[in-house]
Amino acid sequence: MSASQISQLASLISDSVATLERLTLESQTSIPDLNSFGFDPSSEAFRSAPGVAEAVKVAAAACMQLAAVLLPPTDSLYKLALGEHHSFAVRTCLEANVTEILREAGPEGLHVNEIAAKCGLDPSKLGRIMRYLVIHHIYREVKPYVFTNNRISGTLDTGKPSKEIFSDPESKYESTGFPALISHHLDLDHKCSAIAWDVLKDPVLGHSNEITDTIFSKGLNTDTTYWKFFQQPDNLFRHRRFGYAMKGMGAIQSPDLVFKAFDWNSLKPDSTVVDVGGGIGVTISPLAERYPDLNIVIQDLPIVVEEGKKFWSQKYPHALSSNRVKLQAQDFFDVQPVKNASVFFLKHILHNWPKPYMAKILRRLREAATPETTLIVIDNVLPYACRRSSDSETLSDNGGTYYKEAPEPLLPNYGAVSNSPYTLDLTMMFYFNAQEHTVLGLQSLLESTGWRLIKFHSVDPKNDFLQSVEAVPL
């Protein structure tokens, strides 16, 4: 890379920081201090100002790319290759309740001997683990061997008294969201990653598209599926923790996501919308409230439908009693019973299944579709790491492109700033032999099952890659 390109990265950082300072001043918000004691969700207010998200992405991506240029290549690769050390260190502090202990100690911090005494670990080992996290800006060492929370470590805080957690560890993650999610990944994904190469190189397992022949099934030594694994008595804690994690993630979902997914005003009164695999109907419920002239069918397995009836009876009893909202027991691999749907709606369904299973779900819907039916798929659509050509990722007419490329010389998908959806793609590989979508892969899948991709809708300002994909029958 030439000096001029390094200067370009430096300019992107400088210009983006200037933009952030101007926008936060205008919105009367501020960028929080990394050394803040703990994490306060209200400190994220600065991100809501228009233009801030883009400036943050450009500045962060440029910083990461500049570091990749300037550091020895062996350092960059070594850090990535030894990622299990990061996981080990975070899991130790999470499961030992270090963040809660430090929260109770206050901003002055606590000596590692006292932290270790409270959580029952060897102080010498714990101190080294915590210092390892500090160099990655998780926790702070304010004096030799005296540690305190910072903004990042604070995200691991359950908010519960440490004594309560130590006395009842099974309830630690109840109603916690993010800490539950991190614990889930550090438990299951770490076991998956340890066995992943052995599975991938296997001439049979490495090419499997079955939901029982997965990296997960080998890593957790089970012959069942991911979902059935959680139903086993020995995995009750894991099942509950996963439920708390998903509820927590759902709580931070954009409340108007469903309205951004499609032009609902284009539907005629009494049109039927089918939420395929819709759970108890939380995502679709705002639609029922705003559009009382639509008929909504929420389909899922029988046990979920029964829970859904309770939810609607409590939250929207009139919608249920008037028969405008129906909860229907239905396996999406079976013949679709609704033949007059104006919209089939699938949110976070396809990415949980290998390609042959995805195709079967889509074919069942195509068999039941009318010529006027619209298919809506909400999932991540991942850009390639190269600049797109003029036609490879562009839709004709008003479909447009589904993401804005980062400025040169950044990677067009903003590089490591976009880590989360690409990590989720590997997680889907681990658990299900499944994947997130690229636009060309999704387009090919849809066409092979009788659908034509016509439009993208961005549905979440916090995640550029979460898209509502609109398709119609071929």
Neighbours of 240 (CB within 10 A): 16
Written as six digits, the tokens of 196 are 């992943």
Q: How far apart are CA 329 and CA 169, in angstroms?
A: 36
Q: How far apart are CA 309 and CA 302, in angstroms?
A: 11
Identify the bridge partners of residue 51 per DSSP, sorted by sequence position: none
Write the single-letter amino acid at 459: V
b/e string for 114-127 if b means 16 or more Cβ within 10 A? ebbebbebeeeebb
- CB of 308 closer than 8 Å to CB of 279: yes
Give the full edge-to-edge strand order of the sheet including 110-111: 110-111, 146-148, 140-143
- CB of 142 closer than 8 Å to CB of 180: no
Tell how far CA 146 is from the center of its chain. Answer: 34
Residue whose C-alpha is closest to residue 437's, from 366, 362, 370: 362
3-state secondary structure 42-81: HHHHHHHCCCHHHHHHHHHHHHHHHHHHHCCHHHHHHHHH
Q: Distances in Å between the alpha carbon of 360 and those of 74, 349, 354, 367, 440?
A: 45, 12, 10, 11, 19
Write the single-letter amino acid at 380: N
Residues 6 or more apart whose Cβ sits within 8 Å of residue 135:
none
Q: Looking up tokens 């997965």, which residue turns up?
A: 214
Neighbours of 282 (CB within 10 A): 16
Q: Is the peptide bond before 473 cis (omega within 30 degrees of 0)?
A: no
Known catalytic membership, residue 351: yes
Q: How far apart are CA 141 and CA 146, in angstroms?
A: 6
Catalytic option among 136, 207, 348, 351? 351
* Catalytic residue numbers, as ranges: 351
